[in-house]
Chain A
Amino acid sequence: MRSTLKNPYVYMLFVLPTIVLYFLFFIYPMLTSVFYGFTNWNGLDTKDFIGFDNFVAAFKDADFRNSILNNLYILLFSCCIQVPLIIVFSLLISSVKRFQGFYKTTVFMPSILSTSVIGILWGYIYDSDVGLLNNILKIFGIDPIYWLADTKWALFSILVTNAWQWMGFYIVLILAAILAIPKDIDEAAMIDGATGVQRAWYLTVPLIKPIINVVIMLSIAGALRVVDIVLVMTGGGPAGATDVMASYMVNKAIKYGDYGYGTALSIIIFIFALILTALYQILIVRRQERVEY
């Protein structure tokens, strides 16, 4: 009995391929990132250790500071505008019986598609001449807007596309939590004469706070991860108006071969993600009591 399931060679055989691959593509890159981040390597010359110079340079780099700011806008947009909307939509879906499944599958659909293809699709919708949006505006007699080429509109356009793609995903997450609440709580409130809005606000929302926290955490992480859509739709332009940290990093490293500086930027992104999620955990999540039905 023992020997069959205690054969170390078989164990190794089963575990080793995973560990090797995992080490090679997760752990090793992580270690080299930390190493490269402190060098001035540009792919050609020698790697010189330059201490914290890259990090100092990054915060002096006006373009990078600008991209941090753009990440911040994305973060604020998703936490302050998207999340409330997501909660409202999930409450609405949960309140209906007919078509509930249809709404759920439809709103979820964009999140299973490739971000790059969605970027192309929306790039077409935003097109100044033939795009859907300007065609609609034309009906109302509004002049065409250069959505992606105008510094005033470019970031907003990308934010809308991003929201269009991901809101349904979070709606489904919250919807599942709402539907898991025992029905009798709601029924008791209904018998006591609470209206639908009252029940939603005073009963359902407090009960789903934990999942709302998860959604906010995911939104924070997501806001720092945004990159595909920027690279596909604008490449960071016009004039850096849509550059985010990750797109700036990718361009620095691949276009200009600034690997040392690029990896320093990626470490900064990682640290931002750690700090923001930790802050949120400490300030908001810890203070709340656990929900029990």
Chain B
Amino acid sequence: MAASIRRSIPHVVMLAYVVVILVPFLFVLLSSFKENNTEIALHPFGLPKSWEFGNYKEAWIKAKINVYFFNSLYLALTSAVAGVLLSAMTAYALTRMRFNRASSWIYQFVLIGMLIPGNVLFIAQYLLVQKLGILDTHWSLFLPYTAGALPFSVLLICAFMRAIPFELEEAAVVDGMGVFRMFFRIILPLTVPALVTVFIVNFLGNWNEYLLSFFFISKDALRTLPSGMVQFRDAFQLNYALVCTGIVFSVLPVLVMYAFLQRKIIEGLTAGSIKG
């Protein structure tokens, strides 16, 4: 008896923790279906009286969540793909091609980037995109997002590519294969696990990024979800039901992704922090 109580203590504590994590989401989800603040204030914990699916339509179109959503989606996708491709190419050249001296210099040089905390460069990057004349365009996010991912991505893909046996390429060279085909046909397919990890980490980072997207973009039509949501909250401060729908829209895609790829996501994000 005493033993079984003792064995259940960890579960009780952890379940309490899980409740603390999940209750805010549940509260937001329920609120998003409620009619207005009065109903939320009167029945904060209850189910909505009538399920207001109209909130979702209203937030999606009238509050322009759809615009933010697609901006986020395509920026996060394109810069993650660009980051993966660039760092794979670089990692290939650094680890597989025979320029050892140059490669080790370039590798060290790129790794310095991991020492610099992101927001330290914020003002200088702001002035840079201003100077480049791309402030208030999507380039001002695409370029820093892609560049920001490079150090970690190069590091991770390099580590992976070093483990591929050289005999593979020697055989390919004997068969008369060129560098490009070797890269695309042999090395890239073998590196897919690392590429997927890097892609996920970059995608999530870009999807969630707030600071640059809020200050580099001022046109409403170009905003991404994190910064658009803040704008949206400030505009609809009094209508929490609608704000909650916005939260659901921006959180749901990530959670769906997490449901399918949790192991990969956890592995990628933790690897990024320890090596960084």
Assess whether B147 is in contact with A5, with CB atoms less than 8 Å apart.
Answer: no
Residues of B within 8 A of A124 (CB): 28, 31, 240, 243-244, 247
Assess whether A250 is in contact with B208, with CB atoms less than 8 Å apart.
Answer: no
Q: For residues 26 through 43 of chain A, which have their beta carbon under 8 Å from a beta carbon of chain B?
A: 26-30, 32-33, 36
Name the residue in A18, A110, A116, A228 with the highest tally of chain B Cβ atoms < 10 Å from its Cβ: A18
Q: A92-B13, A124-B28, A173-B270 are in contact. Are A130 and B151 (CB under 8 A)?
A: no
Q: Shortest distance in angstroms between A226's beta carbon and chain B's nearest beta carbon?
A: 9
Which segment, of B47-55, B56-64, B114-122, B190-198, faces chain A?
B114-122
Identity of the chain B residue whose Cβ is nearest the Cβ of A253 in the assembled complex: B123
Residues of B within 8 A of A120 (CB): 229-230, 233, 243, 246-247
State in angstroms the CA–CA spacing of A148 and B256 once bound together. 31
State in angstroms the CA–CA spacing of A95 and B112 once bound together. 39
Residues of B within 8 A of A109 (CB): 21, 255, 258
Assess whether B226 is in contact with A116, with CB atoms less than 8 Å apart.
Answer: yes
- 8 Å CB contact of A250 from B169, B182, B211, B243: B211
Q: Shortest distance in angstroms between A125's beta carbon and chain B's nearest beta carbon?
A: 6
Assess whether B116 is in contact with A26, with CB atoms less than 8 Å apart.
Answer: yes
Assess whether B28 is in contact with A121, with CB atoms less than 8 Å apart.
Answer: yes
Assess whether B179 is in contact with A4, with CB atoms less than 8 Å apart.
Answer: yes
Identity of the chain B residue whose Cβ is nearest the Cβ of A115 in the assembled complex: B210
- 8 Å CB contact of A266 from B13, B123, B204: B123
- 8 Å CB contact of A232 from B170, B230, B250: B230
Assign chain B's interface to a size class.
35 or more
State in angstroms the CA–CA spacing of A249 and B211 once bound together. 12
Residues of A within 8 A of B80 (CB): none
Interface residue? A108 (CB, 8 A): yes
Assess whether B266 is in contact with A114, with CB atoms less than 8 Å apart.
Answer: no
Interface size on A, residues (CB 8 A): 90
Assess whether A32 is in contact with B127, with CB atoms less than 8 Å apart.
Answer: yes
Assess whether A123 is in contact with B233, with CB atoms less than 8 Å apart.
Answer: yes
Interface residue? B178 (CB, 8 A): yes
Assess whether B128 is in contact with A132, with CB atoms less than 8 Å apart.
Answer: no
Q: Shortest distance in angstroms between A22's beta carbon and chain B's nearest beta carbon?
A: 5
Interface residue? B96 (CB, 8 A): yes
- 8 Å CB contact of A29 from B94, B121, B254: B121
Assess whether A28 is in contact with B116, with CB atoms less than 8 Å apart.
Answer: no
Identity of the chain A residue whose Cβ is nearest the Cβ of B132 in the assembled complex: A24
Residue-wise interface mask of B (213-235) relative to A, using a CB-CB cutoff of 8 A (1 in contact, 0 not)? 01100000000011101100100
6 contacts between A and B (CB under 8 A): A5-B98, A15-B106, A18-B86, A36-B124, A225-B117, A250-B211
Chain B residues with a Cβ under 8 A of chain A = 6, 10-11, 13-14, 17-18, 20-24, 27-28, 31, 37, 40-41, 44-45, 86-87, 89-90, 92-94, 96-99, 102, 106, 109-110, 112-113, 116-128, 143-144, 146-148, 150-151, 154, 169-170, 173-174, 177-180, 182-183, 204, 207-211, 214-215, 225-227, 229-230, 233, 240, 243-244, 246-247, 250-251, 254-255, 258, 262, 265-266, 269-270, 273-274
